[in-house]
Amino acid sequence: MKYLTRVFRYLRPYWRLAVVSALLIVLGGLVGLLVPWPLAFLVDCVLGSKLVGVTGTVVAIEPSPTIFHSLEGNLARNRASNVRAVNMAASDRAGLARLFRGPEANRGLTTIVERESAANDCQFECEVETAPLGAILRPNEAQNARLFKVDVEGAEWPVVAGMLPLLSAGRPDLEVMVELAPERLAYQGKSPQDVLQFFHDAGFHPYRIENDYSPESYLARQPHCRPLRIGTPIEQETDVIFSRQNAETL
């Protein structure tokens, strides 16, 4: 929860609609190891719902039928009426993909990347419908989106590649959060540098969000650290926010 809460803290005064999306398959990103899956993703959406307020909107895209069912129940219990949940997967094209559900101890490992699933003891769950993000969002959501959050267990490249029309047509302060892991991107034949170059060509600059992924870091109170500009190659799992702002920090 720590790293996205920090981003929300500096974004909150400015947004009117946010898309905090579990694009394709998501660990949830906000809770990590402290909350058992699927609660991580559920808390992700509920926290987003609270932070955008009554005038904001969250679009949660979740392809796993099992997790989606839990998501709907949790949203109802929290009266999160400003969240629109979509049961499909974002990608770079319309079609079908095989979905592999993560083990019970960590549903956050759910993925459509078969090599990633084999490494984490995931089991085939179903085939899921895929489409580019622009085809999933409603026109007003695409035009007004303030923040996209992408945490998809190795399938980042097709999600990002399908996002290009949204980047060029989005609002000037649109920002995109992506969890980048070199070894996972390699399954797609890509690297973090490919993702950075993609956003650079679209007019976005990369900033690192502090997150050491340890359970202890989530428990301890930490000072607020603004995202720092990335100037060196990404060699380990890193949370990145892409912004049109050209500065040393956000």
The mean pLDDT value for 155-180 works out to 90
Q: Work out the burial of residue 189: count CB atoms within 10 Å of its CB; fewer than 13 is exposed, 13-18 middle, 19 or more buried.
A: exposed
User: Is 106 within the bounds of a domain?
Assistant: yes
Counting the structural domains of the chain, the total is: 1
Torsion sign (Cα): 135, 140, 144, 146: negative
Structure tokens at 160: 């990002």
User: Is 138 within the bounds of a domain?
Assistant: yes
The CATH number given to whatever domain includes residue 123 is: 3.40.50.150
User: Is 234 within the bounds of a domain?
Assistant: yes
Paired sense of beta strands 228-229 and 147-150, if any: unpaired
User: Is 249 within the bounds of a domain?
Assistant: no
Residue 99: predicted pLDDT: 85
pLDDT tens string 43-78: 466 666 666 667 778 888 888 888 888 888 888 888
User: Is 44 within the bounds of a domain?
Assistant: yes
Which span out of 60-69, 107-116, 124-133, 212-221 was modeled with the highest average pLDDT? 124-133
User: Is 118 within the bounds of a domain?
Assistant: yes
Greater confidence, 221 or 130?
130
Torsion sign (Cα): 5, 73, 143, 180: positive
Segments forming the whole domain that contains residue 13: 2-243
User: Is 134 within the bounds of a domain?
Assistant: yes
Greater confidence, 39 or 108?
108
Nearest alpha-carbon partner for 90 in 9, 48, 151, 29: 151
pLDDT range class, residue 2, cuts 50, 70, 90: very low
pTM: 0.80
pLDDT tens string 27-52: 232 222 223 333 334 446 666 666 66
Distance CA 159, CA 145 (A): 16
Paired sense of beta strands 123-132 and 89-91, if any: parallel
